[in-house]
């Protein structure tokens, strides 16, 4: 049996071969989650919400599995919202850099695959990892798409009106340096076309709006993270004790945020202030240190700003959010390996557990200071403080 998402009503449809027609299957959603799904033209994210609303058992399952308050999510206004613009072209900027030359407003929500292949450095085994991602695209510009930025909440109404599409292209990106081809083009370990199950579609949607309450790591990942934490613990404790608590960063307010502003601090000060506490917070702090060191090694880092839950009082931040400005002389094709992964949003999210946004200085939308200050915006509205990492002074 196939499953169909449709704009014709808040219900799930299935094709009945006996009667040669599509029929409703209300109350059966949980039993068809493993079935392949088709999407009728005109079906939007809002229609998906209506379908899930009509299936109480399905709604309860998704709410628990994705850590999402579905009633609150579905209760939000589905009209208005800030449009999301996609860059359609770039042109040379000053000092050999590039900047965006054209934009188009997104009119599609795309569910796509992101998987990558690599060699395990411990066992030597070849592995594939990845997930299904939520993106926006344009029907007028094939191949013009991007993952939905964290500021997607201010565009919620706009997102609800986007037509849903499933990208059948399955590309497994090669990450091993000795297997990556020369030039700027990505190297693929494997390419194919795929179909999506109903479960894969719904998880891609609701994971974006939720925070899974369970640990998504495998036991192997947990063991490796624990070993990393133990290796770093002694070194960090000595470093943090020497640094003390930074006085350049303000105290948290009653909401657990710093007052609005862009606060400069060295990497040592940031780790001292935000790298203490739970094992999860220490692990995320190590991810930040690793990314900063990799990007700084290019010699073209202009500004490096940390925002999101890591620079709040939240005990267990899920990841670290970073926005970077690179000098206009920076050439992405000149970097490889882990450094190159930092500059690919999906790869950075999967490989480092970080949400990374970047631009050259001349390509910063609205100017570099405006671009930096924008990331003070909270998901629920309002502003909170963020941190710009500056170089240590001799």
Q: What is the mean pLDDT of residues 180-198?
A: 80
Instruction: Give the contacts of 60 (CB within 8 A, at least 6 positions apart).
Output: none
- Say how many Å lie between the first and final Cα of the chain, rounded: 68
Q: What pLDDT is stored for residue 86 in this prediction? A: 77
The rounded distance, in Å, linking the Cα atoms of 329 and 280 is 36
Q: Token match 């071969």: residue?
A: 17
Within 8 A by CB and 6+ apart from 49, the residues are: 73, 74, 78, 160
228 vs 36: CA distance, rounded Å:
40
Length, in residues, of the chain? 394
State the pLDDT confidence band at 10, using cuts at 50, 70 and 90: low
The pair of three-digit structure tokens given for residue 263, joined into one six-digit string = 């606060």
pLDDT tens-digit map of 310-339: 999 998 888 899 999 999 888 887 787 778
- Model confidence pLDDT, tens digit, residues 105-149: 889 999 998 888 888 766 788 888 778 888 888 888 776 777 776
Task: Look at residue 98 in the predicted model and tell me its pLDDT.
Answer: 44
36-50, 76-90, 109-123, 224-238 — which one is most confidently predicted on average? 36-50
Which tokens hold the place of 300?
């073209």
Whole-number Å distance between alpha carbons of 310 and 225: 18
CA count, 13 A, side-chain hemisphere, 384: 20
Range among 116-120, 239-243, 246-250, 285-289 with highest mean pLDDT value: 285-289
Measured CA distances, 246 to 55, 254, 269, 271 (Å): 51, 20, 5, 10
Backbone angles phi, psi at 321, to 5 degrees: -105, 130
**Position with higher pLDDT, 283 vs 234:** 283
Could you give the percent of the chain with pLDDT greater than 70? 79
- Reduced to 3 states (helix: H, G, I; strand: E, B; else coil), residue 208 is helix
User: Which pLDDT value is given to residue 222?
Assistant: 60
What does the pLDDT read at residue 241? 54
Closest by CA position to 227, among listed 268, 294, 270, 279: 279
With 0-12 / 13-18 / 19 or more C-beta atoms within 10 angstroms meaning exposed / middle / buried, residue 322 is: buried
Check residue 135 and give its pLDDT: 86
Q: Which two tokens stand for residue 214?
A: 């369970």
Comparing C-alpha atoms, which of 266, 272, 264, 265 is closest to residue 239? 272
CB 41 within 8 A of CB 163: yes
| Domain locations along the chain | 85-194, 219-390
pTM for the whole structure: 0.57
Per-residue model confidence (pLDDT) at position 99: 47
**Chain mean position to CA 100:** 21
Residue 213 has pLDDT above 70, yes or no: no
d(CA 87, CA 90): 8
Answer yes or no: is pLDDT of 255 > 60.
Answer: yes
Q: 152-161, 197-206, 233-242, 292-301: which range is least confident on average?
A: 233-242
pLDDT digits (tens, 9 = 90+) for 215-243: 555 666 666 656 655 555 555 555 555 55
Give residue 260's pLDDT: 92
Q: What is the DSSP letter of 184?
A: S
């Amino acid at each position: 049996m196939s499953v169909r998402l449709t704009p014709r009503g808040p219900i799930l449809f299935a094709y009945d071969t006996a009667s040669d027609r599509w029929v409703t299957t209300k109350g059966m959603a949980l039993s068809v989650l493993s079935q392949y799904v088709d999407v009728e033209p005109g079906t939007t994210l809002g229609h998906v919400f209506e379908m899930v609303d009509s299936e109480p058992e399905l709604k309860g399952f998704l709410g628990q599995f994705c850590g999402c308050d579905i009633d609150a999510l579905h209760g939000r206004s589905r009209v208005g919202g800030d449009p999301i613009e996609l860059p359609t072209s770039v042109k040379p900027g000053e000092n050999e850099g590039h900047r965006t030359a054209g934009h188009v407003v997104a009119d599609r929500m795309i569910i796509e695959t992101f998987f990558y292949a690599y060699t395990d450095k411990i066992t030597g085994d070849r592995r594939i990892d990845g997930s299904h991602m939520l993106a926006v695209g344009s029907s007028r510009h094939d191949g013009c798409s991007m993952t939905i930025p964290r500021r997607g909440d201010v565009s919620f109404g706009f997102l609800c009106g986007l037509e849903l599409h499933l990208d059948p292209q399955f590309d497994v990106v090669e990450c091993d340096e000795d297997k990556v081809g020369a030039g700027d083009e990505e190297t693929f370990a494997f390419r194919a076309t795929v179909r999506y199950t109903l479960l894969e579609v719904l998880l891609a949607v609701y994971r974006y709006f939720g925070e899974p309450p369970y640990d998504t790591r495998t036991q192997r990942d947990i063991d490796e993270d624990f070993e990393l934490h133990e290796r770093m613990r002694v070194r960090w404790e000595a470093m943090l004790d020497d640094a003390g608590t930074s006085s350049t960063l303000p105290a948290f307010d009653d909401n657990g945020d710093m007052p609005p502003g862009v606060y400069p601090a060295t990497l040592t000060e940031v780790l001292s202030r935000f790298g203490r506490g739970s094992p999860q917070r220490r692990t995320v702090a190590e991810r930040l240190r690793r990314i900063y060191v990799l990007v700084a090694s290019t010699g073209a880092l202009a500004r490096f700003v940390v925002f999101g839950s890591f620079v709040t009082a939240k005990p267990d931040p899920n990841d670290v959010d970073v926005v970077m400005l690179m000098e206009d002389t920076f050439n992405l094709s000149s970097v490889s390996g882990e450094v190159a992964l930092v500059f690919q949003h999906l790869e950075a999210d999967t490989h480092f557990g970080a949400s990374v946004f970047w631009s050259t200085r001349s390509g910063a939308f609205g100017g570099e200071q405006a671009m930096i200050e924008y990331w003070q915006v909270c998901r629920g509205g309002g502003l909170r403080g963020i941190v710009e990492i500056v170089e240590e002074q001799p």
